[in-house]
């Protein structure tokens, strides 16, 4: 099976712009979670989608939003970009939500905001 | 909210030796999952080992084992016969059984393996 894929892998944007990141989970996986990884804050949970519904949301401003499609692919959108949004954005997929199943991470999208 | 603490930002080990990475966590829940993930430089995060809190037996995966002390809220990772490929950032993570797939991660321990 193909692993979790994320596109694009690298992105450069300027302050005030918006960006959309994409995550394709492993085939058959219905849960997709998003994390922001920065040197200062570490790995922080953004949100989780399961069967097209947002299941959990972390402590991020409303500029961060997401959605999940019927094929389980997920997108994350950040509007009005700020310098502090520069980070590695990781998504992780699993078969179900909340059970013992392993979550598999993608390679990440590295976003640089200038 | 749950917190996970990794008190060792950096560790080093000689090839073929054993190293233990520390992790403590804070929770009021009685049943949960604990994980160790490995993130090699510029590569994606992969699961090393997983422990379910209700299981008293420590999990083992080949050269990797954990020492799970539930009362002390401690979850350390032991790597035996260290190999050069073990060099990576290691993250300890907590996951509740009540909040879906939300992980709480520690700040990570950077492991260097010395040939």
pLDDT (mean) for B22-49: 93
Grouping H, G, I as helix, E, B as strand and the rest as coil, residue A95 is: coil
Closest-approach residue (CA) in chain B for A43: B105
Q: How many CB atoms are located within 10 Å of the residue B87 CB?
A: 18
**Is the preceding peptide bond at B67 cis, omega within 30 degrees of 0?**
no
Q: Tell me: pLDDT of A99 over 80.
A: no
Element (H, E) at A73: none
B43 lies within 8 A of chain A by CB: yes
Q: Which pLDDT score, from 0 to 100, does residue B112 have?
A: 97
Question: What distance in Å separates the CA atoms of residue B88 and residue A50, rounded to the nearest whole number?
Answer: 30
**In this predicted model, what pLDDT tens digit does every residue of B68-107 receive, in sequence order?**
999 999 999 999 999 999 999 999 999 988 877 888 999 9
pLDDT (mean) for A68-90: 97
A102 interaction partners in chain B (CB closer than 8 Å)? 47, 50
Q: Tell me: pLDDT of A3 over 90.
A: yes
Q: Which pLDDT score, from 0 to 100, does residue A41 have?
A: 86
A39-53, A92-106, B3-17, B59-73: the lowest-pLDDT one: A92-106
**In this predicted model, what pLDDT tens digit does every residue of A7-50 receive, in sequence order?**
999 999 999 999 999 999 999 999 999 999 998 888 999 999 99
Counting residues of chain A whose pLDDT is more than 90, the rounded percentage is 87
Q: Best residue in A33, A43, A92 to probe B by mutation, most B CBs within 10 Å? A: A43
**In this predicted model, what pLDDT tens digit does every residue of B11-26 receive, in sequence order?**
999 999 999 999 999 9
Residues listed for chain A: 114
Looking at chain B, the number of H-run helices and the number of E-run strands are 0, 12
The pair phi, psi for residue A85, each rounded to 5°, is -80, -5
CB distance A102 to A35 below 8 Å: no
């Amino acid at each position: 099976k193909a692993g979790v894929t994320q596109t694009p892998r690298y992105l450069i944007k300027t302050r005030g712009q918006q960006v959309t990141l994409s995550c394709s989970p492993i085939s058959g996986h219905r849960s997709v979670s998003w994390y922001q990884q920065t040197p200062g804050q570490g790995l922080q949970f953004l949100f989780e989608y399961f069967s097209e519904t947002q299941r959990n949301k972390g402590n991020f401003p409303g500029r961060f939003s997401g959605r999940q499609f019927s094929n389980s692919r997920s997108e994350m959108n950040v509007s009005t970009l700020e310098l502090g949004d520069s980070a590695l954005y990781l998504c992780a997929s699993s078969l179900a939500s909340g059970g013992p199943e392993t979550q598999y991470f993608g390679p990440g999208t590295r976003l640089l905001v200038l | 909210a749950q917190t996970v603490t990794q008190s060792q930002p950096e560790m080093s080990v000689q090839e073929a030796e054993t190293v233990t990475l520390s992790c403590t966590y804070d929770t009021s829940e009685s049943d949960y999952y604990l994980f160790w993930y490995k993130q090699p430089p510029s590569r994606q995060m992969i699961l090393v080992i997983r422990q379910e809190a209700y299981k008293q037996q420590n999990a083992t995966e080949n050269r990797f084992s954990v020492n799970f002390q539930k009362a002390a809220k401690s979850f350390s990772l032991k790597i035996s016969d260290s190999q050069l490929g073990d060099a990576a950032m290691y993250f300890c993570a907590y996951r509740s059984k009540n909040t879906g797939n939300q992980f709480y991660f520690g700040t990570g321990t950077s492991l260097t393996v010395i040939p």
